[in-house]
Amino acid sequence: MMTMDRRKLLATLGLYGLGAVAQRVFALPRPLPRNVWNKPSFESHPFTLGVAAGDPSMDGFALWTRLAPKPLERGGGMRMRPIAVTWEVATDEGFRDIAQRGTAVAHPELAHSVHVEVTGLQPARPYWYRFFAGSEASVVGRSATFPAPNSRVDRVRFAVGGCQHYEGGWYTAWRRIAEASPDFVFHYGDYIYESDDKGPKPRPSNGAMYALPRRHLTDEVYSLDDYRLRYSLYKSDPDLQAAHAAAPWFVSSDDHEVDNDWAADQDQDGTPTEIFLLRRAVAMQAYYEHMPLRPRSFPAGGKMQIFRRAAFGDLLQLHVLDTRQYRDLKIMTGDMRDKRKRAAAPHRTLLGAEQEAWLFDGIASSQARWQLIAQQVMMMDLSRPASATSNEMVYSMDSWAGYQHSRRRLLEHIQRTNQRNVVVVGGDAHRHYAGDLVLDEKDGPAIASEFHATSITSGFDGIGEADEPTRLHRQYNPELKAMTDKRGYVFCEVDRNAWRGDLKVLDKVTERDGKLSTHASFIVEHGQPGLQRA
């Protein structure tokens, strides 16, 4: 009897990374498990967490839902059996023309979530989708396929958002994004926050005190059940559900999906690596269970394949990055001068060698009219005095400024390959920033431009431009064109000649239905890096 080498067996099963083997396995048609429940019954409506589509391509997209009739109970109120779930994709909202139909299995091992990889659709057109389980039907979601990579496209519209601390306020921003009907949404991370609900009430933020409009229901999350309940709480929000149902999303995680400021196999608290990796593994499983991701992102061995690429015709090449799984730990000790010196060390990386090579190859080979680097943390190398009376300059060690070698290598690569069409988006800092990416200290030529989105709710209402950090950042960084401490998102509209970015803000998120306005708008002309006021 032949035996398989243990390492080869584990690799085949995906425990050393999902890769092409597991992707093929997921793509194979398989019979339903013998114990599947084909005609389930539920005590109440099971599609309480909505529906979502993600990772669109020219011929399809991923579809997601999760069965959870009691989402805030462990197990979601489900019987622990595999459940048959039917899905439909139609060319019209009334489902008169069914393009595809199939049956998926909601496995209890994956919290009864469903991931369907739909292929074989027509490019550059909208589709509508829905799910059925027993006699119950989900709401209808809208997705779309992308234009073929080499086809001429004249316009694309998309939103950038993230950092949606549930306790910070209401998700009005997601409702406004849904109403804008973008071609896609990029969520840069911090979909959930792992913290407990035992903080002060009210809480301070940037010099102001805020009552908590909503509360987490549990202590800090550590176990798989903990993370599942936290996602259930967040995804129960109707405004967030509306944004998912309105357009396909590209998602990438940052730190709070696992733990604040984690990096690779370490957390900020010095937890033993083998213990932290247990937490990271269950956090990634819960993330996959609740996101519209394709099977290639299925977590394996405590890792996920998150960096990926997509093309919107010949107009836009999208590079989605992962700046958490491969980075060195944030520099947390020493004075700022010492931190700055250590941040420039050649061995420190934000992307890791494999992802960096993948990104560099994609940038150099792209023939798209524009290139979008969609990632998590600020790339501008901003500094300010520690206070108005201080001579010490402060940099963020959690951004690209804390990984100077990685930042310089990327910008030099963009410059060397003469790609004058690159725009970077991200979030994490809970403020809007818009500016130019330069190599030299403050006065070099613009190599690319950056729209750094503020938070959806994290930081409560904010105080606009009146705070000292905003004033000092604007004073000491000429490449920074706009900054404000308000909640909202970035909305981009791109045509062949110009890229317009609008910094959308809400007057309040601690109350429902805050008023939306545009703080500032900027234009990047094709082939001419650098922001101009619209």
pLDDT in tens, 319-366: 999 999 999 999 999 999 999 999 999 999 999 999 999 999 999 999
Mean pLDDT of 457-475: 92
pLDDT at 18 over 50: no
Return d(Cα 210, Cα 372) in angstroms, integer.
36
Instruction: State the pLDDT at residue 155.
Output: 98
Return d(Cα 534, Cα 521) in angstroms, integer.
5
DSSP 8-state assignment for residue 137: E
- Using pLDDT thresholds of 50, 70 and 90, give the confidence band for residue 144: very high
- Is the CB of residue 48 less than 8 Å from the CB of residue 64? no
Neighbours of 260 (CB within 10 A): 16
Token representation of residue 420: 């004058």
Instruction: State the pLDDT at residue 21.
Output: 39
Return d(Cα 339, Cα 332) in angstroms, integer.
8
Return d(Cα 503, Cα 517) in angstroms, integer.
9
- Is the CB of residue 204 less than 8 Å from the CB of residue 138? no
pLDDT at 90 over 50: yes
Return d(Cα 199, Cα 260) in angstroms, integer.
16
Give the whole-number percent of the chain exceeding pLDDT 70. 94
Return d(Cα 262, Cα 8) in angstroms, integer.
30
In terms of DSSP H, where are the helices of 316-467? 336-343, 353-365, 404-416
What are the backbone angles phi and psi of residue 217, rounded to the nearest 5°? -105, -5
pLDDT at 75 over 60: yes
Listed in sequence order, the residues at least 6 apart from 278 whose beta carbon sits closer than 8 Å to its beta carbon are none
Token representation of residue 297: 């992102």
Mean pLDDT of 21-36: 61
Going by C-alpha positions, the residue among 330, 244, 238, 242 that lies closest to residue 290 is: 244
Q: At what angle do helices 19-27 and 6-13 cross, to 10 degrees?
A: 50
391-401: per-residue pLDDT in tens?
Answer: 888 999 999 99
pLDDT at 438 over 60: yes
b/e per residue, 424-453, with b = 16+ CB within 10 A?
A: bbbbbbbbbbbbbbbeeeeeeebbbbbbbb
Instruction: State the pLDDT at residue 29.
Output: 57
Instruction: State the pLDDT at residue 3.
Output: 36
In the predicted model, what is the mean pLDDT of the chain?
Answer: 92
Is 515 strand, coil or helix?
A: coil
Return d(Cα 245, Cα 253) in angstroms, integer.
20
Label residue 135 exposed, middle or buried (CB < 10 Å: 0-12, 13-18, 19+). Answer: exposed
Q: At what angle do helices 273-290 and 224-235 cross, to 10 degrees?
A: 30
Starting at the edge strand that comes first in sequence, how are the strands of the sheet with 113-118 ordered?
A: 113-118, 60-66, 51-57, 249-251, 184-187, 155-161, 487-495, 498-506, 516-525, 528-533
- Is the CB of residue 253 less than 8 Å from the CB of residue 164? no
Return d(Cα 106, Cα 102) in angstroms, integer.
13
In terms of DSSP H, where are the helices of 165-292? 172-180, 224-235, 238-246, 273-290
Return d(Cα 86, Cα 105) in angstroms, integer.
9
Return d(Cα 169, Cα 507) in angstroms, integer.
12
- Is the CB of residue 62 less than 8 Å from the CB of residue 294? yes
Q: What is the largest CA-CA distance in the chain?
A: 78
- Using pLDDT thresholds of 50, 70 and 90, give the confidence band for residue 390: confident
Mean pLDDT of 261-279: 97
Return d(Cα 240, Cα 50) in angstroms, integer.
9
Q: How far is CA 52 from the centre of its chain?
A: 14
pLDDT at 28 over 50: no
- Is the CB of residue 448 less than 8 Å from the CB of residue 422? yes
- Name the one residue in this structure whose structure tokens are 């690569």: 413
Return d(Cα 148, Cα 315) in angstroms, integer.
10
What is the rounded (10 degree) CA torsion for 430, 434, 440, 444?
-170
pLDDT at 532 over 80: yes
